Structure 1
Amino acid sequence: MKTVDSNTPGNAPGAGRAADGRPEPDLDELRAAGIDVDSSSRRRSEYSYDASNYRVPPLAVVFPRTAEDVAVVARFAHTRSLPLTSRGGGTSMAGNAIGTGLVLDFSRHMHGIRGLDRRQNSIVAEAGVVITALQDHVERATAGALTFAPDPSSKSRATIGGAVGNDACGNHSVRYGRTSDHVLELQLVTAEGYRLTAGPRGVAATDPQDGAAVAAALGITAALSRLAGEYLAPFRLDLGTIPRQVSGYHLAELLPENHFNVARALVGSEGTCVIVISATLRLVPKPARALLLCLGYPDVVEAARDVPDILGFNPAAIEGIDDAIVKTMQYRRGADSVRGLPAGNAFLYVDLDGEDADDVAAQADALLAALRRNGRIRDAKVVPDPGERASLWRVREDGAGLAARLYSGEGNSGGGNSGGESWPGWEDSAVAVDRLADYLSDFRDLLQAYALQGVLYGHFGAGCMHVRITFDLRSDEGRGVFDRFVRAAAELVVRHGGSLSGEHGDGRARSALLPVMYSPVIMESFRVFKAIWDPANLLNPGSVVEPAPITADLALAGIPERQWRTSFELAPAATAPEGLDPFVHAVQGCIGVGRCRSSSGGVMCPSFRATSDEKDSTRGRARVLQDMVRSSPTVAQGWKSEDVREALDLCLSCKACATDCPVGVDMATYKSEFFDHFYTGRFRPRSHYALGWLPRWLKLTGRIAPLVNAVMAGPAGRLLAQAAGLTTHRAFPKFAGGTDWQRGITGQHRTADPAVKGSRTPPADVVLCVDSFTRGFRPEVAGAAQRVLASAGRTAECTADACCGLTWISTGQLGTARKLLARAAATLDDGSDRPIIVLEPSCAAALKKDLPDLVRTDQARRVARRVRSFAAAVSELAADGWRPVWPGGAAPQAVTVQTHCHEYSVFGERSQQAALRAVGITDIREATGCCGVAGNFGFETEHYEISMKVAEQALLPALAATPPTTPVLTDGFSCLMQVAKLEPNRNPYHLAQLLDPEPTVQSSQQMR
């Protein structure tokens, strides 16, 4: 077994020893018991991080399937004095989900839900259940009558175990409080391996026949009773003073007036006392009617001053965001990604609900009247549209990621915006609501005193504020400022009667600061409570009690200064700290919020959704890359790292992460860059030559298409596919002749011909770029597109001479890709600003995004600015007043559309929907997700199975719900091939074919 590397350079453990110096145990004993244990260097890199500032490499990662598995692991660890850390979604911002020993990942297998009790309004959920999955289960089972209330912003990937560990709250905590308010019982395993159940009256053995567990339960209950009696007065005076007092242990729950509620006392203990296996949870009624009111203010302080008055109207939520976060969302995902905002520099979302819609509306009117009398509000908007509400909540839920690297064009509440890096560390303080405005005002002064900047957002209705701050965690000087600032901030929040943590817990980030908030007596009670449960200090050691300094184990410390030569001009480079390598800055963009681990919403990350393995998430890949650039012993080979290659293997290069990731991590680009270096001087996979060189092969097949099609349709075709590393489970498309694309072009077109360019003939209105995929496999689309443009009064200059190099980019052959893109730029840069309309979305995206990033010339940037996808061009035509001439006189009643991932990422997630709505189609079913083929990925033998699992996420259900007579749009050739595999009798369309005023002109190939 390889040794676990230390976070401190020059302090690596010796052979056969873990990071803390203990001898490494033989993990084969666990494997022999049927427990899934992974101690590979790649896996340890993935789990060295959570969403905090810290990095702690574990010895190994365990993926338990049952409660008994956990008990076995606990006993194994106890007998060897081995630390144990519980982990759910790995989204802890305080460093609660990383540790030196064994990390228990509950999210992989332990997601059972059972025991829905309508009489008691309760349910039992295992620790690995994702919160949204539980909410969906409950709402389906109760026909929308009940739900699980806590809804933290990370609810689409955070687990019940994590919510219990941190006492998570969420956007609607004004109404529903914290997770502890909804916990009835906890089923747990102790550090010694006993299975117990904690409830409102004490602790009992989960199995009454287990004598040792019964004795342990009796002893723990007695010790907790003595603790509560000894510290009765301090618990009453110092704990539970504000609703969001999450820091420390919730020992006030042990008081007689709280019925000695051991279960709730354990909520928020951050995995330091017990290992939570499952929880019995209280469910709440779901209101029948809800209305979102969005309020605009000059700044967050003025917004906070109105919160006490808003609370008088019994809202379900009062959430706040800064305009800088909104601007970053719009920059990252397009101007229409945030809709429904009023005027202002800071905003409050006020959620009102009830059983009667008229009553809720009247409540909103009364609230607005009261706020206008206060005179602080700048503007307000009632948001009834579900799409607008969803866009607003998404920008709030992505606040942590968006604030990490803000759009550099706008200011923020910290007094300007560097556009650089922002980090957690003091992101979770809370005060009483009536002191919130004064606290925020003083906090902004504190930021200014330390020359730091930060964007404030969060749970205004509960007095809990989130902020990411421009700490410099890379230098000794910067870490010193970090240390001094957070200590001053702790003193500030305590002066305002508040809590260091209002939701995220203390962890490695704040535990050392607890003596600022609590008296020595309370701190001693915490130590006693921890020792009752975990006398050997094996469970998540270093959190809450006996913590390390807050500057220990920082992930950005000790990274060697090295230049990583790249072909791409990486987008974050412009905002990288001075002297920091752009590639290092880019891959360190992942801050661990884990949106890539969501099972619904957006497109990212299709491979994780197929495997549920951290390795196959954008975050998992980024963490391995981050270990690579720090020259960690686990990933020491740099560009030749097999760990990184393995982590990137199932990346579909869909580019969705570049849009869906709140920080804009562009894993497709990093994969291409890495593969370019990794395979230099090595033989590549055979598919890289077969599909990576596809445009070259198309020049040959275009001359002998009938012969090639005949060969590929027979037994020889299977042999050729196998020899090329391609799956035989997917039929190859028919190859078109080299000039077939020209047959459907009418006499109104102009060709890209030097003679034409030099003539006096007026130039065409647009350039129609016929890409390799269209030319080689869908030639009929070119004529359809030209006829659509002609129907809109646009003449088109058609060219098939510009190759975007996409297949070389996706396989990491960047030298060739750059040459082809440079030629394309020279071909298309004609001195005009005419739109360049590209029919294949992935090729359009390559010319729009990859061309300027790889070629890096003014010519490349000029051409990129002109590029449009066909859908984007249709929206522009419609905006100018054009409407299509529909065959039969009417638009299709409904359309199902598979938006290509690259179009989604580069041209906007609503590009296809916007085009269809612009031409009068409103009944649109969108398969929101990757089709699974993704260029070469779905054709490769080793990836075929995953590609089909990806298709099952969105495309297959959408097709199943689409009647045979309803058109299915697949502008992307990859999407077309997946539909052909899933439903061979389906006849998908390109948008140009759907809008074609003369559909009978299309070739028989499309209609076959």
Structure 2
Amino acid sequence: MTVVGALRDAGLAPDDSPRRLAEYSYDASNYRVVPTAVLFPRDEREVAQALAVCHRHRTPVTARGGGTSMAGNAIGTGVVLDLSRHMHAVLDVDEQARTATAQAGVVLTALRAAVLEATGSRLTFAPDPSSQSRACLGGAVGNDACGNHSVQYGRTADHVVELALVTSDGLRLTATRSGVRATDPHDAAARARAEHLETELRALTADHLAEFRTELGRIPRQVSGYHLRHLLPEEGFDVARALVGSEGTCAVITSVTVGLVPRAQRTSLIVAGYADIVDAARDVPLLLRHSPSAVEGVDRVIVETMRVRRGADAVAELPAGSAWLFIEVEETGESDGAATALIDDLRRDGHIVDLRQVRDPGERADLWRVREDGAGLSSQLIDPETGDTITTWPGWEDAAVRPENLADYLAEFRELLDRHGLTGVMYGHFGAGCMHIRIDFDLRSTAGRDVFRSFCTDAAHLVVAHGGSLSGEHGDGRARSEFLPIMYTPRMLAAFDRFAALWDPRGILAPGGLRAPRPMDADLALAGAGEHPAQSCIGVGRCRTATGGVMCPSFRATGDEKDSTRGRARVLQEFIRGDLPTAADWRSAEVTESLELCLACKACSSDCPTGVDMAAYKSEFLHHRYARRLRPRAHYTLGLLPLWLRITPHVARPLNRLMGTRAGALGARLGGVTTDRALPEFASAAQLRAELARVPSTVNHSGGPAEVILFVDSFTRGLRPAVAGAAARVLGAAHSSVTCSADHCCGLTHITTGRLGAARRTLRRTADHLDALRGPDGGEVPIVVVEPSCAATLREELPRLLDDDVARRVSARIRSAATHLGALAAEGRAPSWPGGSPPEAVVVQTHCHEYAAFGNRVQRASLTALGVPSVVEATGCCGVAGDFGFTAGHERVADAIAEQALAPALRDHPEVPVLTDGFSCTTQVHHLEAGRPGRHILELLDPDPQEE
């Protein structure tokens, strides 16, 4: 019997489908290893059952949390145990004891949030790696993660109290700070194993006292190898901390008790600018004299990449320089005394070019986000001089030295890069001497992989020569374990092997990394792989976050890797490689299933640090999938909606009556349209004519020269003409002349359903038409698009699909309504509010496409500029996203997505106007709270609204 069959016989549910294996063949590293099966245990008992079965079958097991490992620690042959799906509870928070206990699959930010709530924000869990919004506690223990505040709080090992473990043969043990015990005292086999382990671990320590004392714990970030110094008598025979950093090779961690620390109540952030990264490193010893809580650094290229990808306002104003340190100090009083002293020292003795103290909370959050997204941003860099994209990879991104040695190490490291003809971008934990460096390795070609091996070997010798560690945070894994003999003596390596073998004699846990390492250039994902934009996904996993931003709404609804942007990208990557069973067939069941719940919301194109645009990839796949084939029914109804909307104005009244009958419901079902939500009413031609008739004389429909062009899209014309009228009246009052264009389409529904040929034809006509519309002097004037999804399509998809000068010219002129109103306000020409004053508060649901194409602050910034005192943002997808929420079969997911942000905001602010510029968002508000309209910003500003 196979191990998969044996697991099923044990009552477990392993998934060995090709799609699932594709999702779990990768983590955030350079490597690809296909497992035999993936299992999602629900509790410690199921973990023990699984391990017992795998032990009998001698099948490797790799435990996994968020899958964010950059060293290849979360992938492996055999069975992968994903503990993040079900084992993510915070079990206890004890404020008096200053401890918290949580299951291994809990995301670090969720653990911190639970601690803050339970202790009234008085305590927190200190380790805060940049991946904390999706990395799990078990992984933090496995890699001994640190984070931005490790200067003050150290590593995860410094906060671990107890570890609940399952051994490789399925016994449940608890490792403590003074030994090992059976988790269940009545389990005789576990008691015997605990006694045996204690005896053997003490013998191991007695045999290697000298090595443990001289080779381990030499620098703050010595993460490489096993942390066996904690077994020394002076450390109290701390078995729990000895297991931290063991990278899943000794036992599977199921829950962890951690120590908590007081939460800083007030901090100051200083940003220091430097000529280069080495100058920044030279100031670290000076900064450490002031006991900062964080000293983090970023390179200019990362900052510029953030600005290009997310807009110029995505990064707060920085002081002059080409590299920056973010320096945080805790303030104990009301004054900035600690910050002032540090600033004085920097100005007098430092190497700074410029300096700024950042007090605004929003600006501080923006700056920390640049640092937190460093790994993703630096993978697809935008060269600030040329605008070219530079692709970089991990592999030597995590070495550490003593902070006082950092500058000299980096200077020599740059020389090493030059000798190998490589470029590296540097960022990281300067205060701890730990640098993250991503390098433009060529991992596709044999010659490039030879350079990769040669460089990493030389880099290992270099960091050891500076008294450093191969890994300072991410672990050794597949990337660096091969080089441990450069760092440690044979006796120390023998002690490592003996320690791991005591826990897992058969060596089935996480082989290929720290235990039985594979060559560092084996199993590379890009070796032999073709090129495709989907490969820009490197697995950082920001799409698996539960809060912040919009990406990825379907994952937040289901919690399944399948429904994350990363999961879809990995399946597409396997498809491109030709390693799926149906890889040669565009009808691939695996890809089709993976893309089914993608809303094509485009949030990933903005929120993903590497710029993955899953909506574009989905459109491309559907284009091939249904070429000259029968399509899903919804593609003919919802996907051709702009076409139907040219007909519906002439039959709107009888059609609307029909849609409210059983026959209408039957027709909807036959068309693949859900009947669980009310369909919007179609507008009549008379309604549109009436709205456009009530416009100022400054608005014309002739297409002549004008100060601004108003583009009325298909959805606005056919489904909410009142917004078209409001748009004409607001712009007509603000401009001396307005041309209204109401006869063209952006082709959005063609794009989302993969009709790319039809989309290009539609966009060609629209682009030529809009390019011909000019200002009074023949110059290019703004084109204001009423529907934000159509604005985003003309802004982003038009140049991508047509790729010519006309498309690029038109794209540059496109503005969403909110963007244009904000620009008017900045020019002192803001429209007046009906009644003379703005509403006191507004709930805003920003359309996902507008969020992605025009920036995540566009609605808030415009409303603030227009004088609205309080803007409540329901940050997240509404759940409808074009045709997704109206397609039969998507009802449960659409409703779950609405509960992520929009529905709670509506409940919390029942009397506040709801701003929904997007038609999809408007229909979702109506679905959630019938009778409470979602309004377009132009309707709120309409100087002559119709009586309701």
TM-score for both structures, normalised by structure 1: 0.92
1:31 Cα shift? 2.8
Residue number in structure 1 paired with 2:341:
366
Q: Which residue of 2 aligns with 1:748?
A: 697
* 1:277 match: 254
What is the match of residue 992 of structure 1? Answer: 938
Question: Which secondary structure state, in structure 1, belongs to the residue aligned with residue 639 of structure 2?
Answer: coil
2:19 maps to which residue?
42
Q: What does residue 711 of structure 1 align with?
A: 658
Encode CA deviations 1:566-615: one digit per residue, 9 max, x unaligned.
xxxxxxxxxxxxxxxxxx33110000000000000000000000000000
1:60 aligns with 2:2: no
Provide the secondary structure at the position in 2 that maps to 1:294. Answer: strand
2:555 aligned partner: 608
After superposition, residues 195-210 of structure 1 pair within 5 angstroms as 195-210=172-187
1:73 and 1:349 mapped to 2: Cα distance?
A: 45
Is the 1:171–1:459 contact (alpha carbons within 8 Å) kept by the matching residues of 2? yes
Moved more, 377-386 or 620-629: 377-386
Tell me how far apart the structure 1 counterparts of residues 582 and 367 of structure 2 sit (CA, whole Å). 40
Q: Within 5 Å, give how 1:266-345 maps onto structure 2.
A: 266-345=243-322
Separation in 2, partners of 1:388, 1:747: 41
Q: 1:983 aligns with which of 929, 945, 948?
A: 929
Work out the CA distance in 1 between the residues paired with 2:582 and 2:266: 53
Whether 2:140 is the aligned partner of 1:158: answer no
Alpha-carbon distance between aligned partners in 2 of 1:502 and 1:27, rounded to the nearest angstrom: 37
CA distance in 2: counterparts of 1:124 and 1:674, whole angstroms: 45
> How far did residue 638 of structure 1 move?
4.5
Q: Does 1:106 align with 2:105?
A: no
Q: CA deviation at 1:815?
A: 1.3
Report how far residue 35 of structure 1 moved. 2.2
CA distance in 2, matches of 1:425, 1:792: 56
Residue 390 of structure 2 corresponds to residue 420 of structure 1: yes
User: 2: distance between equivalents of 1:246 and 1:645?
Assistant: 42
State the 1:185 CA deviation. Answer: 0.5
- Determine which of 332, 337, 351 is the counterpart of 1:355: 332
CA distance in 1, matches of 2:805, 2:645: 30
- 3-state SS of paired residue (1:36): coil
Matched, 1:775 2:717: yes
Task: Tell me the residue number matched to 2:356.
Answer: 381
Indicate the residue corresponding to 1:681 in structure 2. Answer: 628
8 A contact 1:56–1:553 mirrored in 2 = yes
Closer, same or farther in 2 for the Cα pair 1:636/1:287, shift >3 Å?
same
In the aligned structure 2, how far is the partner of 1:344 from the partner of 1:783? 49
- How many Å apart are 1:375 and its aligned residue? 4.3
Matching residue of 2:760: 818
> Partner residue of 2:456?
486
Query: 2:47 aligned with 1:70, yes or no?
Result: yes
Per the alignment, residue 453 of structure 1 pairs with 423
Kept after mapping to 1: 8 A contact 2:268/2:331: no
How far apart are 1:408 and its partner, in Å? 2.7
Task: State the shift of 1:118 in Å.
Answer: 2.0
- Of 100-109 and 736-745, the range deviating more from structure 2: 736-745
Choose which of 765, 776, 790 in structure 1 pairs with 2:707.
765
Select which of 915, 928, 942 maps to 2:889.
Answer: 942
User: Following TM superposition, by how much is the alpha carbon of 1:793 offset from its aligned partner in structure 2, in angstroms?
Assistant: 2.8
8 A contact 1:699–1:738 mirrored in 2:
no
- Distance between the aligned counterparts of 2:796 and 2:688, measured in 1? 26
Q: Are the counterparts in 2 of residues 596 and 605 from structure 1 also a CA contact under 8 Å?
A: yes
SS at match of 1:292: strand
- Written as runs of structure 1 = structure 2, the 5 A alignment for 1:225-244 is 225-244=202-221
| Aligned position for 1:12 | none
Q: Is the 8 A contact 2:331 2:337 kept in 1?
A: no
Instruction: Please give the per-residue CA displacement for 1:103-134, whole angstroms capped at 9, x wherever unaligned.
Output: 00000000111222222111111000000000
Partner of 1:791: 733
Q: Distance in 2 between matches of 1:387 and 1:31?
A: 51
- Name the amino acid aligned to 2:555: F
Q: Distance in 2 between matches of 1:327 and 1:516?
A: 37
2:379 equivalent among 383, 397, 404: 404
Q: What do residues 148-201 of structure 1 show as CA deviations (whole Å, max 9, x unaligned)?
A: 000000000000000000000000000100000000010000001110000111
CA contact (8 A) 1:316 1:353 kept: yes
In 2, Cα distance between equivalents of 1:610 and 1:650: 10
Report the counterpart of residue 251 of structure 1 in structure 2. Answer: 228
Q: Aligned partners of 1:542, 1:829: CA distance in 2, in Å?
A: 58
Mapped to 2, the partners of 1:291 and 1:635 lie a distance apart of: 56
Describe the SS at the equivalent of 1:215. helix
The answer for the alignment partner of 2:771 in structure 1 is 829
Equivalent pair of 1:45/1:634 in contact (CA under 8 Å): no
Report the counterpart of residue 489 of structure 2 in structure 1: 519
Deviations 1:26-77 (A, max 9, x none): 5233234442311100000000000000000000000000101000000000
Shift of 1:987: 2.0
Tell me whether 1:955 sits opposite 2:878 in the alignment. no
2:777 corresponds to which residue? none
Map 1:171-186 onto structure 2 (within 5 A): 171-186=148-163
In 1, the alpha carbon distance for the partners of 2:789 and 2:66 equals: 32
Per-residue CA distance 1:605-638 (angstroms, 9 max, x = gap): 0000000000000000000011111111445234
User: What's the CA shift string for 1:682-703, capped at 9, x where partnerless?
Assistant: 2211111000000111111111
Residues 277-304 of structure 1 show CA distances to partners (whole Å, capped at 9, x for unaligned) of 1011101110221121111111111111
Question: CA separation in 2, counterparts of 1:741 and 1:323?
Answer: 51
Match of 2:473 in 1: 503
> Is the contact between residue 802 and residue 828 of structure 1 (CA under 8 Å) also seen in structure 2?
no
Q: Which amino acid aligns with 2:918?
A: G
- Contact 1:782–1:839, Cα closer than 8 Å, also in 2: yes
Report the 3-state secondary structure (helix = DSSP H, G, I; strand = E; otherwise coil) of the residue aligned with 1:483: helix
The alignment partner of 1:928 has SS state of: coil
How far apart, CA to CA, are the structure 2 residues paired with 1:674 and 1:398?
28
Return closer, same or farther for 1:694/1:831 CA change in 2, 3 Å cut-off. Answer: closer
C-alpha separation between the residues in 2 aligned to 1:149 and 1:830? 59
Distance 1:996 1:95, change over 3 A: same
Kindly indicate whether the alpha-carbon contact (under 8 Å) linking 2:330 and 2:338 is maintained by their aligned counterparts in 1: no
Tell me which amino acid in the other structure corresponds to 2:540: V
CA contact (8 A) 2:696 2:733 kept: no
Q: Deviations over 1:351-399 (max 9, x none)?
A: 11133231xx111111111011114111111111111011001010000
Provide the residue aligned with 2:747 in structure 1.
Answer: 805
Per-residue Cα deviation, 1:337-361 (whole angstroms, up to 9, x for no partner): 1114212111111111133231xx1
Residue segments in structure 2 that go unaligned for 5+ positions in a row: 775-779
Q: What do residues 962-997 of structure 1 show as CA deviations (whole Å, max 9, x unaligned)? A: 132x21100000000000000112122100011112
Q: How far apart, in 2, do the equivalents of 1:446 and 1:205 lie?
A: 50
SS in structure 2 at match of 1:868: strand
Q: Is the 8 A contact 1:126 1:278 kept in 2?
A: yes
Distance in 2 (CA, whole Å) between partners of 1:635 and 1:542 is 29
Partner of 1:647: 594
Q: Distance in 2 between matches of 1:959 and 1:613?
A: 27
CA contact (8 A) 1:409 1:419 kept: no
| Distance verdict in 2 for CA 1:875–1:151, change over 3 Å | same
Amino acid at match of 1:271: G
Query: SS in structure 2 opposite 1:887?
Result: coil
Give 1:719's aligned amino acid: L
Report if the CA contact (8 A) 1:628-1:638 is conserved. Answer: no
Over the matched positions of the two proteins, sequence identity in percent amounts to 57
Contact 2:554 2:598 in 1 (8 A): yes
Paired letter, 1:373: R
How much has 1:558 moved relative to structure 2? 1.8
Is the CA contact (8 Å cut-off) linking 1:51 and 1:591 kept in structure 2? yes
List alignment gaps of at least 5 residues for structure 1: 1-23, 412-416, 562-583, 758-762
| Letter in structure 2 aligned against 1:984 | A
Asked if 1:546 corresponds to 2:516, the answer is yes
Structure 2 Cα separation of the partners of residues 831 and 737 of structure 1: 28
- TM-score, normalization by structure 2: 0.98
How many Å apart are 1:418 and its aligned residue?
5.8
Kindly state the Cα deviation for residue 812 of structure 1 after the two structures are TM-superposed: 1.0
Deviation at 1:752, TM superposition (A): 4.6
Aligned length: 941
